[in-house]
Each structure stands twice: as structure tokens, then as C-alpha cells.
């Protein structure tokens, strides 16, 4: 593990869904993985086949749960589900495309792009509320005695978590790229966290 007291946590975004492919906002809508997403999850599973982590934490939404289940089944890793890792709720926007949102909600769209830290979609959850929710489960994960740990979640959830680790403003939300089934690594020790790698997709042999 590097040096005494250090733990390693792998952050993995879920695999692709049809709504992802169509550029539709998903939020809390339960959209399953498509065939590409399932293959992406299997490719991640191969990465950990020879050095399996002790536990997987995943959101309760099916696209993350399926991703975690595929990874876990390949190395017999137990999976813990928690709603605190769920994606940001986009309320009235869920199921609609980026183009439709930009056309029908221009002021909200502009706020999302420029000041995401103050953003809340109509009928949805604020980015600040997401930040608070994710912070709670992050403390639980860090205090888990298992080592190493996988966290399977969503683009918004993981961006918020990484910004928390970096002590950065939520307005930097869109400055972090996280592709489907990418692997980011966080090393933790004592009261410190280090983002050791970000958005690694070298394992995804998919055209």
C-alpha cells in the first residue's frame, strides 16, 4: 500500500446507458446499462482480477449497481449499496436532451454552465445538497477498515467528491472529465487525501 496507514480508493464512473448515448439527463431516473456499458464494466473487472479490492461501494441507481455487480462478480468482491452515492437529481430535466434543455430553459442552462455551485434544476436537487450528501458517505468510506476500496458512482457524484478532496470550489464542477468506466485513484493516509490519478481509460479496449 505504499507507506504505513495508507489506503487506496478507486473511483469508477458507471458504464454507458442508452440515455447517455442520446445525451439525455438521467439524474435519479433508473436507466440500465446498454451493451457497451456492460462491456465497459467487464473491462474494468479485468483490471482488478489479480488484485481484488476488499469491498465495492455503489449508488442505488441501476446503472451504477449493474456496473458494480459485474466488477464484483468477476473477483467475488462484496458490494455495499447506498443512496448517498446517487447522481444529482435533475427534476424536470430528466429524460430530456442537452439541446432541449438549452432551448427550453436558457437561464437555467446558462447558470449550470457558468456557476454550477449555485445550480438547481427545476424540481431537482442543488449541487450544494449533492456535495453535503456525498461528504457524509465519503467519511464512512474513509473510515472503513477494508483495503483497498472501489466506489462506483456517477459523473456528478464523483466530480463533487474530487472537488471536496482538492478543497476546490463547486464552480469547478465542469473542469473535471470522467468518462464511462474510467478509473481514478485516491490515496488516503492520516487526515490527508491525494488524487493520484484521474480518468484512466487505458483498460477500455472498445472501438
Question: So what's the pLDDT on residue 112?
Answer: 87
The answer to whether 89 touches 27, Cβ cutoff 8 Å, is: yes
Q: What is the value of pTM for the model shown?
A: 0.94
- Tell me the domain boundaries of the chain: 7-200
> Strand pairing of 7-13 and 183-189?
antiparallel
- Is 87 an annotated catalytic residue? yes
Over 60: is that where the pLDDT of 173 sits?
yes
Which residue among 43, 65, 66, 87 is the active-site one?
87
Cα 66 to its chain centre, rounded Å, is 13
Specify the fold of 7-200.
Rossmann fold (3.40.50)
Residue 184, all three cell numbers: 481514478
Which residue among 14, 66, 94, 154 is the active-site one?
14
Over 80: is that where the pLDDT of 4 sits?
no
Q: For 101-127, what is the mean pLDDT?
A: 92
- pLDDT tens digits for range 40-79: 999 999 999 888 899 999 999 999 999 999 999 999 999 9
Residue 115, all three cell numbers: 456557476
- Is 14 an annotated catalytic residue? yes
Over 50: is that where the pLDDT of 2 sits?
no
Amino acid at each position: 500500500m505504499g507507506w504505513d496507514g495508507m489506503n487506496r480508493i478507486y473511483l469508477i464512473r458507471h458504464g454507458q446507458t442508452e440515455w447517455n448515448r442520446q445525451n439525455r439527463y438521467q439524474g435519479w431516473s433508473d436507466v440500465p446499462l446498454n451493451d457497451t456499458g456492460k462491456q465497459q464494466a467487464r473491462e474494468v473487472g479485468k483490471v482488478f482480477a489479480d488484485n481484488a479490492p476488499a469491498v465495492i461501494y455503489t449508488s442505488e441507481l441501476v446503472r451504477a449497481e449493474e456496473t458494480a455487480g459485474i466488477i464484483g462478480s468477476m473477483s467475488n468482491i462484496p458490494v455495499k449499496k447506498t443512496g448517498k452515492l446517487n447522481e444529482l437529481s435533475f427534476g424536470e430535466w430528466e429524460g430530456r436532451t442537452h439541446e432541449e434543455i438549452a432551448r427550453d430553459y436558457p437561464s437555467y442552462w446558462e447558470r449550470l454552465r457558468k456557476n454550477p455551485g449555485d445550480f438547481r434544476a427545476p424540481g431537482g436537487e442543488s449541487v450544494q445538497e449533492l456535495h453535503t450528501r456525498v461528504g457524509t458517505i465519503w467519511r464512512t468510506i474513509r473510515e472503513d477498515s477494508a483495503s483497498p476500496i472501489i466506489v462506483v458512482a456517477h459523473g456528478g457524484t464523483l466530480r463533487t467528491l474530487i472537488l471536496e478532496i482538492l478543497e476546490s470550489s463547486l464552480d469547478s464542477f465542469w473542469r473535471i472529465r470522467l468518462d464511462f468506466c474510467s478509473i481514478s485513484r485516491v490515496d488516503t493516509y492520516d487526515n490527508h487525501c491525494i488524487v493520484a490519478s484521474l480518468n484512466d481509460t487505458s483498460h477500455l479496449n472498445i472501438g
